[in-house]
Structures are given as C-alpha cells and as structure tokens.
C-alpha cells in the first residue's frame, strides 16, 4: 500500500495521541510566536520553545495541503519541492504533496541559490515551499522562479513575490482528497550529496518508502510505545526513513533543533525518548562532555533510552566501545545505506551483533548483497570489491539521466561505489569509497582503516585521511586530526602512535585542524581535498 495509508490509519487508530513534537532550545519563552489558527500550541512546563500535534491534526494538515495544491491545478505526478529547516510543518507538507498524487522533492538546507535553482529545474518542480531561513537565497532567484512555479512562504511576514502558506492552507478543505495512489506511483525525488559536481535527482516510488518504514520497525523492534528523537535534517533520507519506523507503528517522535550534548540529553529526559539516532560527531561530542564532567548523567532521566544507532558513515569501533561504557544497557545498531537505496538499512549490523562492531553488518530486511570485482564478478570471501545491493528500496532511476542510471543500476543491482569485504561469518566491512582510495607507490590505502586506527588515540576527537599528490609515490596519506579540547598532541606523538600500523599505511603528513563534515555527519572529503591539495581534487573526482 502507499505510504499515505499509514498516516490515515494512524489518524483513525491513534487520533488523539501525540504524533510529533518540535522543540527548539535556542528560542526562549518570551520569543514564542502564536502561529495563527493553523498551528496548535500545547502548554508545557518546559522553558524552551515546544509545539506538538496529534495524529488526527497531522492527517488534517496533510489533507489541507493536498487540497490547496489541487485547487491551484497541481495534478498527479507533478513535482513539489520543500526547502525548510526541521519544523512541525515539514512532514504534513510532505504528506500533503503525496496525498494529491504529486511527487515530494526535499531540498538540502545548505544549497546555495544556484544549487536550489538547479535542483528545481532538474526535478521539474512546479511548487516550492520554503521557510524564513531561506529568504535571502530565494530572493536572488525569485524573479525567475515566480514565472515558473508557485512559491509558498512558510512563516510570518510573507514576501510580496510569494504566497502566504498559512493563509492559503487554512482556507482549504480538511477532507481527504479523492486521488487514487498506487504502490508503483512516483512518490519522491531525493538528491545525492553532489560530491562530484551538482547533485543527481533520485526517483523513488511508494513501494520503496513503504519498504523503508516496515524495515525500520523490524530492525529496531519499534513499538507503539517508543518515542524517537529525530535530530538530523528531514530533507535527508537518513532522518526521514528512520522516522518512518514511528509512522509504521503510530508512535511518537520528537524533532529537536540543535545537537549539543545538553540539548540531546534534555530532550531524551524531558520527552522520555527511547530511540535516538546520532551522527558520529554528535556522539563524539556527548562522550567528550561526559569525559570532561560538563555533562552529568545523574542530572537527567535516561533509563528509558533503550537504543542508540548511528549511520551515514563508517563508525569507529572505539567510539561504540566508549559509548557502552557509559550506557551498558543500550542496544546498538549501525545502519548503512544510500539515498539511491531509500536511505539506511539495506545493510545493518543488527542489535544482537554488538560483538561485530566495526562491520556495517548483514543484508537488511528484504535486501540482497554481493561484492564484485571491476568486471562485476563476485570476489572470494575476504577479498575487497565493490558492494552491490538489491531490494524493493532501490531507486527507479536518476530522474531524466539515463546515462548516470546505467552506470549504477545493472540488472536490478545497485552498484554503491563503496569498497567492502565479507568476513567468515558473513558480516560486511566497509573499506572505503571507491573514489577515496589512495594509491601510494602502487599500494592501495583505504582511508577508513587509517581513520579507525587513529580514533583509538584518547587525545583525538576526530580524524580524516585524504590523499595528497606526491612526485615519487603518486599520492601519500595525509591525516587531518582534530585534537580533543584541553589536550595537546604533536606530530611526533602521532608518528609514535602509528608505529603499530604497517609502514605503508602510516600517514606521511599530519595536519592539525578541524575535520570538515557535511550536514549528515559524513567527512567531506572533497572539501578537505580542495582545502589541502587544490587542483588534485579534480583529478580524484575524474577518477571516481
């Protein structure tokens, strides 16, 4: 069934129960805004900004969005883009788009004006919903956009070139639209992270979204009593598809703006969250705050927190071991995926397999995997090759880009571009991105392996390894190291620590600096290469 059926079911079964909570620790009590009649403000004893809606209100809001779009001539299959920070409006708008049979197109909140314009054109979007944080970027291209599409402004003091979302939607019917939506219908276009140029538009159908919802609930044993703390941006498949587990079970979720250790602990404590998905840097920050004493577990109610899981990048095993020292009762899971595979879970560790920390795991619910060589033939167990996945969550295509589609989709298999190996127990270990492999003196160096080793050092907060050009060896491994606050580390210290690495794997250059990460927590290797080796970046991208 289409993903919209889950929302309608939850409205009928759990109508008066809370579906979504939005909290923002950065907005003080005196700064609260009453968001017109369309928004429901719930009283709360907390001192931070907090809103919530029930499942019935959620469904009603989605219906109003759908009817508003249909009244303006939007038909089944047309594209509607969303450019919003995480907020209570985000998901009702997303589901309103789906309910009228249109295709939702979430946009990265970090996109520049040029990238926004590019993605709107690449996806053939006819509508854009955007928030106050993006006024400057939209104004740069507003004259062009308003001639081509409907612009809905989701905020106070609507610009003259856009339509007031709250005013328009409040005048629309709350009755469910009569639009036949089928499993095979197009549902959403997500954009790749665009590490080798402008991002690609990834098309998914309702079957893929439903697969991710059921898979998430199964993988993490989500029940109706759980409460999921969602911190990453909803435009990304990682956050959205993990929340789909809450949608599948009709359970509550909290949208937290901010990711400081104090904000996370406070949200878990006061909202009684049971499941939290963290990115590596956020988990690192929490551990550093606990180690330093800035964060004290006894100040918060954390006993109900049962699961912490991480995805979006390779996870240093030392981080998980450190985490379990503070939270020995926690279940833990690693989730691997791509936007092309409807986000996380096509491979996952499994909550019962913490003894295999370091692996990304085994095929997820409904998925198959294989590891192949350059000719597409399966490699022997233990050998390194490219990871391929196959399942109901694989994208339909790169929208209007058959050449790029043919490169990554072959006989139903999605070639991920990630190098991996499988151990004797069938667990898959991610080695590195294919394009990030460093070839030094004829030897293949896999940065993830070196990064994981460096993260064992108690003084290192974060580490990234990239290739720098070298006349003699072609490339050398350079380590960008972010030292923990209040600690000191020298190049000699790092060299001494790396003695246990094979000589050819040891970083030949040490750079003490902040590790650049993108909005989803992944190490931004292209930006690091641009910063430290300039034109060499172009060569690496061409190789990829």
Distance CA 56, CA 111 (A): 33
Q: What's the confidence (pLDDT) of residue 441?
A: 65
Q: What's the confidence (pLDDT) of residue 534?
A: 57
Residue with tokens 């970090």: 110
The mean pLDDT value for 435-448 works out to: 75
Q: What's the confidence (pLDDT) of residue 58?
A: 97
Distance CA 406, CA 395 (A): 12
Distance CA 162, CA 424 (A): 59
pLDDT tens digits, 96-119: 999 999 999 999 888 889 889 999
Q: What mean pLDDT value characterizes the chain? A: 88
> Which range among 150-164, 195-209, 500-514 has the greatest average pLDDT?
150-164
Q: What's the confidence (pLDDT) of residue 27?
A: 64
Q: What's the confidence (pLDDT) of residue 314?
A: 66
Structure tokens at 468: 């720098």
Res. 7 pLDDT band, cuts 50 70 90: very high
Res. 527 pLDDT band, cuts 50 70 90: confident
Residue with tokens 């999605």: 414
| Domain coordinates in residue numbering, the chain | 54-208, 437-543
Residue 88's φ and ψ, nearest 5 degrees, are -70, -20
pLDDT tens digits, 503-525: 878 899 999 999 988 766 678 88
CA nearest to 245, candidates 220, 274, 277: 220
Distance CA 257, CA 235 (A): 14
Asked if residue 55 has pLDDT above 50, the reply is yes
Q: What's the confidence (pLDDT) of residue 520?
A: 63
Asked if residue 244 has pLDDT above 90, the reply is yes
Asked if residue 541 has pLDDT above 60, the reply is no
Q: What residues contact residue 285 under an 8 Å CB cut-off, 6+ apart?
A: 259, 260, 261
Asked if residue 33 has pLDDT above 50, the reply is no
Q: What's the confidence (pLDDT) of residue 432?
A: 67
Asked if residue 536 has pLDDT above 50, the reply is no
Q: By mean pLDDT, which of 131-135, 398-402, 425-429, 531-535 is the weakest? A: 531-535
Percent of the chain with pLDDT strictly greater than 90: 66
CA angle 513, 517, 521 (to 5 degrees): 140
CA nearest to 345, candidates 212, 253, 245: 212
Distance CA 356, CA 241 (A): 24
Q: What's the confidence (pLDDT) of residue 445?
A: 82
pLDDT tens digits, 60-74: 999 999 999 999 999
Domain 54-208 indexed as CATH 2.60.40.10: no
Distance CA 183, CA 185 (A): 6
Asked if residue 122 has pLDDT above 60, the reply is yes
CATH class given for the domain over 437-543? alpha beta
pLDDT tens digits, 381-434: 999 899 999 999 999 999 999 999 999 999 999 999 888 999 999 999 987 666
The mean pLDDT value for 271-284 works out to: 90
Asked if residue 29 has pLDDT above 60, the reply is no
Res. 544 pLDDT band, cuts 50 70 90: very low
Q: What's the confidence (pLDDT) of residue 307?
A: 96
Asked if residue 32 has pLDDT above 60, the reply is no
């Amino acid at each position: 069934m289409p993903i919209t059926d889950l929302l309608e079911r939850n409205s009928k079964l759990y109508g008066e129960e809370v579906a979504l909570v939005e909290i923002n620790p950065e907005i003080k009590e005196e700064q609260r805004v009453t968001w017109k009649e369309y928004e429901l403000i719930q009283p709360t004893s907390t001192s931070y900004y907090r809103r919530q809606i029930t499942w019935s209100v959620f469904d009603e809001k989605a219906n109003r969005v759908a009817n508003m779009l249909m009244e303006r001539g939007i038909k089944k299959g047309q594209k509607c883009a969303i450019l919003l920070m995480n907020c209570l409006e985000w998901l009702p708008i997303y589901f309103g788009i789906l309910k009228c049979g249109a295709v939702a197109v979430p946009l990265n909140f970090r996109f520049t004006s040029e990238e926004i314009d590019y993605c709107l054109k690449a996806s053939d979007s006819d509508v854009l919903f955007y928030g106050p944080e993006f006024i400057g970027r939209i104004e740069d291209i507003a004259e062009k956009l308003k001639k081509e599409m409907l612009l809905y402004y989701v905020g106070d003091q609507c610009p003259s070139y856009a339509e007031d979302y709250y005013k328009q939607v409040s005048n629309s019917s709350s009755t469910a639209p009569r639009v036949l939506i089928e499993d095979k219908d197009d549902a959403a276009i997500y954009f790749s992270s665009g590490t080798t140029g402008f991002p690609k538009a990834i098309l998914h159908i309702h079957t893929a979204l439903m697969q991710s919802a059921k898979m998430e609930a199964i993988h993490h044993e989500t029940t109706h009593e759980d409460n999921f703390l969602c911190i990453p941006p909803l435009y990304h498949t990682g956050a959205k598809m993990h929340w789909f587990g809450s949608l599948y079970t009709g359970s509550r979720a909290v949208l937290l703006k901010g990711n400081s250790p104090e904000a996370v602990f406070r949200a878990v404590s006061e909202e009684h969250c049971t499941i939290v998905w963290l990115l590596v840097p956020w988990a690192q920050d929490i551990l550093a705050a606990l180690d330093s004493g800035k964060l004290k577990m006894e100040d918060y109610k954390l006993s109900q927190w049962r699961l912490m899981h991480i995805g979006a990048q390779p996870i240093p095993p030392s981080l998980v071991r450190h985490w379990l020292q503070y939270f020995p009762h926690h279940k833990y899971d690693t989730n691997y995926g791509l936007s092309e595979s409807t986000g996380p879970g096509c491979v996952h560790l499994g909550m019962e397999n913490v003894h295999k920390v370091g692996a990304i795991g085994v095929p997820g619910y409904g998925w198959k995997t294989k590891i192949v060589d350059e000719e597409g033939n399966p490699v022997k167990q233990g050998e390194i090759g490219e990871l391929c996945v196959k399942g109901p969550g694989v994208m339909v295509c790169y929208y209007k880009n058959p050449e790029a589609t043919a490169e990554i989709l072959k006989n139903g298999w999605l070639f991920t571009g990630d190098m991996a190996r499988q151990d004797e127990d069938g667990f898959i270990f991610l080695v590195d991105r294919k394009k990030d492999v460093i070839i030094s003196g004829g030897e293949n160096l896999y940065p993830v392996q070196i990064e994981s080793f460096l993260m064992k050092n108690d003084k290192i907060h974060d580490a990234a390894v990239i290739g720098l050009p070298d006349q003699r060896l072609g490339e050398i491994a350079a380590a960008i190291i972010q030292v923990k606050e209040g600690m000191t580390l020298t190049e000699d210290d790092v060299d001494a620590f790396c003695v246990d690495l094979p000589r050819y794997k040891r970083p030949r250059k040490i750079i003490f600096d902040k590790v650049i990460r993108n909005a989803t927590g992944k190490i931004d290797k292209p930006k690091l290469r641009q910063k430290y080796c300039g034109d060499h970046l172009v060569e690496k991208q061409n190789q990829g």
